[in-house]
Amino acid sequence: MYLIKEADKKIKVSLFITCLVDALFPQVGVSMVKVLKRLGVEVGFPEKQTCCGQPAFNTGFRQDAKLLAKRFLSIFDRDEFIVSPSGSCTSMVRVFYKELFHDDQKTSNMVELLSTRTYEFSEFLVNVLKVDDVGATYKGRVTYHDSCHALRELRIQDEPRKLIKSVKGIDFMEMKSPETCCGFGGTFSIKFPDVSVSILDEKIESIIESGADTILSTDMGCLMHIGGALNRMNIPVKTMHIAELLSNR
Amino acid sequence: MENIKLSFEKDSAIALKNIKLQRALNKAIDQFRNVRWRAVREFQDWEQLRVSARRIKEWTIDHLDGYLEMLEANVINAGGNVHWASDANEACEIILDIAQKHKVKSVVKSKSMATEEIELNHSFEGAGIKVVETDLGEYIIQLANERPSHIIAPAIHKTKDDISKLFVEKLNTPYFNEPEDLTKIAREKLRNEFLNADMGVSGVNFSVAETGTIVIVENEGNARLTTTVPRIHVALMGIEKVIPRFEDLPIFLNILIRSATGQKMSTYVSLITGPKRNSDLDGPEEFHLVIMDNGRSKILSNEETRESLYCIRCGACLYICPVYKKVGGHSYGWVYQGPIGAIITPQLLGIDKASDLPFASSLCGACKDVCPVKINIPRVLLELRARVINDKRVGARFLLRIAVKLWRFTMENTSFYNLALRLSYILQKPWIRHGRLVSLPFPFSRWTKKRDFPAISKIPFRKQWKEIKDLEF
Ligand code: SF4
């Protein structure tokens, strides 16, 4: 296990917790805090934060998205590293803010500076802290679902797998097409619920086929969607954010 | 075209309930994804090829007027005729005019999305001219009187059984179940059509500006016959199909064919420069190239969505799209389907005619990763969503607007946000079953109809943070 040496300057991380985790899955945030603190990182939480604006951006309400994005930029202005338990919200800041402000040079510059310091949790551990093994243990058969934004906007694919495989006692197996969308798509899931659910059905099949008892991901959006159907169908597979897994001892 | 108003919501609901369709799509798509993946993986510099193709497209579209004029001059030089059509009506009129001047009674057609776009068959039929589709998939679709449901595989929504029954009904054949038998029947029927036709109509995969050559890629040989047997050949292309140089062609053939069918090379690639020359044994006496705008220059003029014009209609984005796999092509309501349909249809028909198509995507991004010319389809979808919301004719419903404003207002102010969390926590109570929300009122019922929703936490993270921030773990 890795601990930052005493002599090193302490790495400071600001949590960008996302509104979904804040309101619905606070245990994911707590798990992140545990893992980061155990690795010797100094953790902070800018309390003014709310939403990064992604729901508005994705539904075409760009003016509203801009206001929330600017607010986000001002709150996280001075932080060293910004780490989030979501590939999707990280993509919003790192990829889509550029899109949103492409005709606004001044804000674009701020976005540029901030986006290079913003990371999804698993890539932060592996690529910045250079840790694969955080000293976690877990008894169970797990599989991993690639959230679309983590995979295709941030190219996060090996990082979570490295972390998962390093957990003691774990039995990891890939499901069929882990990279296929689960059908969530934010507001898509309520705009076209039947299409969304039929895509989800295929994902659920792959999960069951894998024989796993736990389904992991970097994003609570996907897991809320997958878990919602698992519960409804009484399928005994647990959904778990990767931070929860890694905080387990 | 003026009266079209597409509804993805209604059409996709029908498709989802069609079990036969679901089976047909599942089988064809899973199979194809593997084949394509192999064709792409074995090509070492696939990424480099995509980059080159993209650059050529960017350059050409930015200098389109010059290349189109060059193309026109070189087609005329080779003895062909060039016609310019500003919209679908004009294109139909031009082609019908050519047919009527030559007293054409019967037309054979090879596969072409552009002719679907202008509904050319209707024009021919209206003028009493017989028209026969000669691509097997298109032939089936024509017999069934339907619209193609895939730009490469028009009859992908049909099972073998559907097709056998269709042949029994329309062609009076016995019921065959083997694809070979079905192909044989079609082939026999079509031979005669080729021999009797006075005019062949084709599409264009690429046209080379510097030589005036049009290029047609196919596997069945029907396009070769369509363009050589009848005495007149008319080819219809959208303005975006031109490429500058002959040496650009190998790049485009490689990316098109591997992406479209997973082959290294298609069975036929026809390069046609003008009509039959004196020394040629076969070929049409007359060659006409119709170059059509039909909404494309409007796309060109808009920098945000211009890349939509780089599309080479390979169909790879349809095959990879999780939404297309479930709803099939007809749900997209017009001639272009899947991710490319979702971006091009609203731009060609008008955003008010297809306002829900830009939303018919989970934005998973699989399409942009397979697209051989690297069109960032999700980015264009997002841009179009913003246009829909700002469009006076469609826009967002009043209540949605209010809801978004209220939501934004709450998110802008931490104390309102805290209050909203608290309120939601209290208000949710009547709906909680075993710690979950299982049947919420409208509009949340759209979620809970088939999925549980997690209950809002009593203590949100921001409160828990206060307890844990100074702890050691
Ligand atoms: S958008 Fe790209 S992947 Fe889709 S049909 Fe066009 S070229 Fe092919």
pLDDT band at B43 (very low <50, low <70, confident <90, very high): confident
Q: What distance in Å separates the CA atoms of residue B460 and residue B48, rounded to the nearest whole number? A: 48
Q: Specify the pLDDT at position A78.
A: 83
Residue-wise pLDDT for A125-156, tens only, equals: 999 999 999 999 999 999 999 999 999 999 99
Tell me, in angstroms, the distance from the centre of ligand 1 to residue B373's CA: 7
Which residue among A26, A55, A184 sits closest to B461, beta carbon to beta carbon?
A26
Ranges A130-144, B80-94, B259-273, B386-400: which has the least confidence: B386-400
| Nearest CB partner across the interface for B389, out of A49, A61, A227 | A61
Please indicate whether, in this complex, the C-beta atoms of B323 and A197 are within 8 angstroms of each other: no
3-state secondary structure B71-129: HHHHHHHCCCEEEEECCHHHHHHHHHHHHHHCCCCEEEECCCHHHHHCCHHHHHHHCCC
Q: What is the pLDDT of residue B249?
A: 98
Measured distance CA(B82)–CA(B274) in Å, rounded: 10
Question: In chain B, what are the domains?
Answer: 1-42+315-391 (no CATH), 46-155+199-294 (3.40.50.10420), 428-472 (no CATH)
* pLDDT tens column, A198-207: 999 999 999 9
Best of B253, B345, B369, B375 for a ligand 1 pocket test (most atoms within 8 Å of beta carbon): B375
Question: Mean pLDDT across chain B, nearest whole number?
Answer: 95
B311 lines ligand 1 (CB under 6 A): yes
Q: Can you tell me the distance from the alpha carbon of A219 to that of B362, in angstroms, rounded to the nearest whole number? A: 15
What does the CA dihedral A19, A22, A28, A30 come to, rounded to 10 degrees?
A: 140
- Prior bond of B443 cis (ω within 30°): yes
To test the contact with chain A by mutation, choose from B19, B26, B34, B363 the residue with the greatest count of A C-beta atoms within 10 A, namely B363
Pocket test for ligand 1, best of B49, B371, B376 (most atoms within 8 A of CB): B371
Instruction: Determine the Cα–Cα distance for residues B156 and B140; give it in Å rounded to an integer.
Output: 11
Q: Residue A184: its chain B contacts at CB < 8 A?
A: 362
Asked if the model's pLDDT at residue B305 lies above 80, the reply is yes
Pairing of strands B286-292, B453-454: unpaired
In the sheet that A81-84 helps form, which strands lie side by side, from edge to edge?
A42-44, A12-15, A81-84, A118-120
Lowest mean pLDDT among A172-186, B172-186, B275-289, B351-365: B172-186
Tell me how far the alpha carbon of residue B110 lies from the centroid of ligand 1, in angstroms: 21
For ligand 1, atom 4, name the residue with the nearest CA. Answer: B317
Residue with tokens 């647990």: A238
Q: What is the pLDDT of residue A206?
A: 97
Contact A226, A239 (CB under 8 A): yes
CA pair distance A152, B91, nearest whole angstrom: 40
Task: Say if ligand 1 is within 6 A of residue B260 CB.
Answer: no
Phi first, then psi: give them for residue A147, nearest 5 degrees.
Answer: -75, 140
Asked whether the predicted pLDDT for residue B162 surpasses 90, the reply is: yes
Q: Hey, what are A24's tokens?
A: 């619905």
Across B321-339, b (16+ Cβ under 10 Å) vs e yields: bbbbbbbbbbbbbbbbbbb
* Cross-chain Cβ contact A148/B366 below 8 Å: yes
Residue A64 with chain B: CB contacts under 8 Å: 404-405, 408
Mutation target among A64, A84, A224 for the B interface, most CBs of B within 10 A: A64
Strands across the sheet containing A168-172:
A168-172, A137-144, A214-217, A238-241
Report residue A28 CA to chain centroid gap: 10
State the pLDDT at residue A211: 97
Q: Which residues of B touch A241 (CB under 8 A)?
A: none
Which pLDDT score is estimated for B40? 87
Nearest neighbour of A188 by CB, restricted to B362, B424, B465: B362
Secondary structure tally for chain B: helices H, strands E: 22, 13
CB of B317 closer than 6 A to ligand 1? yes
Asked whether the beta carbons of residue A71 and residue B469 sit closer than 8 angstroms, the reply is: no
Bridge partners (DSSP) listed for residue A217: A241
| pLDDT of B392 higher than 90 | no
Residues of B in contact with A30 (CB under 8 A): 461, 464, 468
Chain B nearest C-alpha distance from A238 (Å):
14
Distance CA A126, CA A164 (A): 11
Three-state DSSP class for A56? helix
CA distance B257 to B114: 19
- Percent of chain B scoring above 90 in pLDDT: 89
Residue of B nearest to A47 (CA): B462
Distance B371 CA to ligand 1 centre (A): 5
ipTM of the modeled complex? 0.94
The pLDDT score that the predictor gives to residue B179 is: 87
Q: Which two three-digit tokens encode residue B160? A: 């073998």
B344 lines ligand 1 (CB under 6 A): no
H/E run at residue B101: helix B88-101
Q: Chain A interface, mutation test: which of B10, B25, B30, B408, most A Cβ atoms within 10 Å?
A: B408
Q: Which long-range contacts (CB under 8 A, 24 or more apart) does B423-430 make?
A: B424/A23, B424/B456, B425/B456, B425/B457, B425/B458, B428/B455, B428/B456
pLDDT over threshold 60, residue B1: no
CB within 8 Å of A161: residues ≥ 6 apart:
A144, A172
CB contact under 8 A, B462 and A47: yes
Are residues B361 and A195, on separate chains, in Cβ contact within 8 Å? no
pLDDT of residue B156: 94
pTM value is 0.95
- Given pLDDT bands bounded at 50, 70 and 90, which one contains residue B3? low
CB of B222 closer than 8 Å to CB of B283? no
For A162-209, give the secondary structure using H, E and C.
Answer: HHHHCCEEEEECCCCCCCCCCCCCCCHHHHCHHHHHHHHHHHHHHHHH
CB-based contact B363 A186, cutoff 8 Å: yes
Q: For residue A131, how far is its CA from the centre of ligand 1 (angstroms)?
A: 39
pLDDT the model gives residue B451: 96
Residue of A nearest to B7 (CA): A192
Among the residue ranges B109-118, B164-173, B188-197, B390-399, the one predicted with the least confidence is: B390-399
How many residues are there in chain B?
Answer: 473
Q: How many whole angstroms from B338 Cα to the centroid of ligand 1?
A: 10
What domains are there in chain A, each with its CATH number? 12-126 (no CATH), 135-247 (3.40.50.11810)
Q: With 70 as the cut, is the pLDDT of residue A101 above it?
A: yes
- The DSSP output letter for B455 is P
Asked whether the beta carbons of A40 and A10 are under 8 A apart, the reply is yes
Task: Give residue B44's pLDDT.
Answer: 82
Q: pLDDT tier at B177 (50, 70, 90 boundaries)? A: confident
Looking up tokens 């889509």 gives: A96
Q: Which atom of ligand 1 is nearest to the CA of B315?
A: 5
